[in-house]
A and B are shown apart, each in its own frame.
Chain A
Amino acid sequence: MALISKDDPGRELLLMGNEAVARGALEAGISVAAAYPGNPSSEIIGSLAEVAEDMGIYVEWSVNEKVALEVAAAAAVSGLNALVAMKQNGLNVASDFLMNLNLTGIRGGLVLVVCDDPSGISSTNEQDSRILVKSADLPLLEPSTFHEAKDMVRFAFEVSREINNVCMIRSVTRISHARGNVTLGPLPSARPKPHFDTNIILSALPASLTHPTAHRRFRQAKRLLADSTFNSYQGPDTPELLVITCGSGYLFSQEAVRLLGLESRVGLLKIGTTWPLPEELILSRLRDAGRVLFIEEVDPFLEDNVLELFAEHNTTLPKVSFLGKKSGTVPDLGELSPGLIIGILADLMKVSRPHADEAYSSTATDALRNFAPARSLAFCPGCPHRASYWAVKKALALDGRDGVVFGDIGCYALGVLATGFHQSKTLHAMGSGTGMASGFGMLGRFGATQPAIALCGDSTFYHAAIPALLNALHHQSDLLMIILDNSATAMTGFQPHPGSSVNAMGSQAPAVVIEDLCTSLGLKTVIGDPFDLDESAVTIYELLQESGTKVLILRQMCALVGAKKGPRRYTVTVDQDKCLGDECGCDRFCTRVFRCPGLNWDVSLKKARVDEAICAGCGVCADICPSHAIVRERA
């Protein structure tokens, strides 16, 4: 039985932050959970999907974040508890609906967990989603520990049901992906039967009526959060420095204070309910603090809001000097770390830093030890994207008109880097590549001669590229859409999507076949194998010579899925007698240009060789070696 569904109240378990969130949702008695995968949020729905059958809940990987929120909202307006999870970029996709849902409200419980990715380790940006929550007039909670993550979800559902509106939770990578102890609570035994009350119309319009309602609900939330135990103060009554912190910042600050022995000089005000703020608590602490330091990840959200509060009450408060991102004391971007906070506090308090060993043994660091490593910035061995990008590069060179590749979000976003030969020239949001290509393909009338390619993966195709493709088709834009179909949402952990024949809960599901969809629209649709490099290049070239909107599906299984499914296709070796190495005739084409990690450059021999442990056995490199030194045999 999976850990998160253990019916063993009081038991302590080591859970990942995202699993703790999932457990909290189970304890809150959710019926429905939906999400579109996106790191660092993916494991929330992933772990719920695993226990869906046992727990009798409905879990889905939705086609995109907006639909996920809509699916969850349907449950919540019918009186159920529903959880929806996404990453920060996903909140943008969902925001159109969120900014209207907040006006109509709900009737059950709806908790939206958004996991921010400070430093953008697996994201295009490091946007702070809290800003959006504030403008939505919704309450926001931020967990600092794993156990708290679980309990906050339960509390969020209570708040949501109480105020009849969405309650938001913001996590960050270091909470979502690290592990810590969580004490289990009881699981509910019964769930309500859904019913949509047709006597009430849920319409955001007219705003003149719904906006005041939203404000009223927000004020109600403010009262509920004011005395929350998720907010706490520890430290002397009149600290030399008051640290106001939230989320992972609290964990780091607590550790830093302990390691520097500053418990009697520095006070820690931990805020778990970051919006709306527990004003009384904060004002009372500001009265006794001459100096305040804000520790939080990404934007100065807490900082701005506390400064606003201070300004409102400035006539009754003593002078306070504020330090944080605005003063330049704390970096205004990127992830924080225990070491960073130790440095800041040591400087401010004029104490010396502890030895590195000691700092390393800190529990905060321990908790982060199994933190997911940053994705490497190259395609995996045997990855079909490498082959696809080479084919694209070659086709554009053969074409000679300086064609432009509009890239998209997924593993293949790495195509802006050397691993994709720098072929993708734009990278923004899900589906934006096709939208931009659609626009660029209309510029021929002004004399543009460069052909346009929109590159997107299968998951992204379903998520957001279809409307852009329809736009291109309808306006007869000259573009070639290349769908890199590796039959997986590989970047985030192989969640099924509408093209899969199973759903999140493992049951059979009808697959929406990309080529069927495209041909039914009347689009010229060609299917190719990226591993057939030369043929793919010529196919791309030929499609680029045609006008109008065309689709090429380059289909080949993700190397990681392939590795899971079966043995290698080929055993690959380098015949070093034939290898030309860095001489004229090759110049290390395999290791310098093609760069599959399965191939190594032997510096002393000046020859290439296959790293058997890493090579995925795709055999593609045998086709690119100019001297036929790479030999592949059917494994």
Chain B
Amino acid sequence: MDQIHGLDELSRRVLDKGLCASCGSCVGRCPYVTEFKGRTVVLHRCTVEHGRCFAYCPMTFFDPEAASRMVFGTRAEASGIGRYEDVKASRATDETVAEAAQGGGTVTSLLIAALNSGMIDSAVLTSSIPGEARGRGFVGTTVAEIASCSGSKFAGSHSLSVLREALDQGRSRIGVVALPCQVRSLRKMALYDLKQEKLRERVPLVIGLFCNWAFSPRQFAEFLGKELGLGHIGKIDIPPPPAQVLEVETQGRTVSVPLDLVRPMIQDACRVCPDMTAEFADVSVGMYEGRPGWNTLVVRTAAGAGVVGEALAAAGLETDVFPSENLEHLKEASEQKRTRAAQ
């Protein structure tokens, strides 16, 4: 417990330094921290010495060895894409799923299989806020609800704040789709579980997303609105290199914004985050560069293999080999993020 502190220390180490990743894990647990229009706001001082806000925040501290022991039962793998069992190419077989998805619809397919098989009874997801670039947390309990959350929201969305909602509803098998920082937060919850909420058992499936960076929700919104004069933001896509643009759907048209223009809006937290492939997730899913309509699927744990198996068995997912040169390239990109973060 000696490394766990309270809200004051969270403010000092994370919020005041602008290092909040907008994961949402400190939000909605108490009257002191809230999220408002994409910003994590402290409303009053709290005197609790060992608090969940500090303990579960991915940016306060992270013990890869403890997490690795818990998740994989082994020592941490501090290189490449972390520990994994298998890497595959994958995509949804269902056309409507594939259509709405960001990439190949793998994430949505896995969730549907997990729900239908009873592996999970609910899912903590990130739904879009109509007209806005940032998303918000959403607890889905039906296939339709899960499908409605397809697509990436490229600004921090505080979505883990609704984990509380799922827990309060008494859900006992909660699946979560999480960015790498959020995966870390979820693993810290399971490790420290300060209120003995059986968080390890109650979150049996963590699907991680690859992530190089996310936008700071307030800055990004202000940029789109005030600088570019774009209203009512729809889907946002980042086409594979060498495009170097952000494609923003807005009021019936698509606007290409050079990446260099929006880079300053990237959260500072992402610049110091070493994890590109959600190394502590059960499965991680990213884009498949060079093969549109497909995802990269990294299976890391038995639970991860289990959900992939369910999806294949239910014929919701198809997989293909992931060539070794692509894997090398992925590991390199992942290493680069690790190196950048260390600087």
Contact = CB atoms under 8 A, between A and B. Distances in A.
The answer to whether A and B belong to the same complex is yes
A385 interface: no
Interface in B30-65: 30-32, 34, 36-37, 39, 41-44, 46-48, 50-53
B48 A583 contact: yes
A584 B48 contact: yes
Nearest to A394: B43
B226 interface: no
Contact of B42 (A397, A421, A541, A584): A397
Nearest to B51: A584
Contacts of B50: 584
B330 interface: no
Which has the most chain A C-beta neighbours within 10 Å: B31, B34, B47, B51?
B31
Contacts of B39: 398, 400
B164 to A, nearest CB: 10
B194 A586 contact: no
B31 A626 contact: yes
B42 A587 contact: no
B31 A582 contact: no
Contacts of A586: 30-31
Interface residues of B, number: 21
Interface string B178-208: 0000000000000000110000000000000
B31 A593 contact: yes
22 contacts: A393-B44, A394-B43, A397-B43, A398-B36, A398-B39, A400-B39, A582-B48, A583-B48, A583-B195, A584-B51, A584-B53, A584-B194, A584-B195, A585-B30, A586-B30, A587-B46, A587-B47, A589-B31, A593-B31, A593-B44, A624-B31, A626-B31
A624 B44 CA distance: 13
B31 A584 contact: no
A626 B30 contact: yes
Contact of B30 (A398, A421, A584): A584
Contacts of A587: 30, 32, 46-48
Interface residues of A, number: 18
Interface string B258-279: 0000000000000000000000
Nearest to A580: B30
Interface string A387-408: 0000001100110100000000
Interface of B: 29-32, 34, 36-37, 39, 41-44, 46-48, 50-53, 194-195
Contacts of A589: 30-32
Contacts of A393: 43-44
A55 to B, nearest CB: 54
Given A584-B194, A584-B195, A589-B31, A421 B48 contact: no
Q: Which 3 A-B pairs have the closest CB atoms?
A: A398-B36, A589-B31, A584-B51
A85 B41 CA distance: 49
A400 B30 CA distance: 19
A398 B41 contact: yes
A394 B31 CA distance: 11
Nearest to B194: A584
A585 B52 contact: yes
A592 B42 CA distance: 16
Which has the most chain B C-beta neighbours within 10 Å: A394, A541, A585, A593?
A585
A583 B29 CA distance: 11
B44 A421 contact: yes
Interface string A530-550: 000000000001000000000
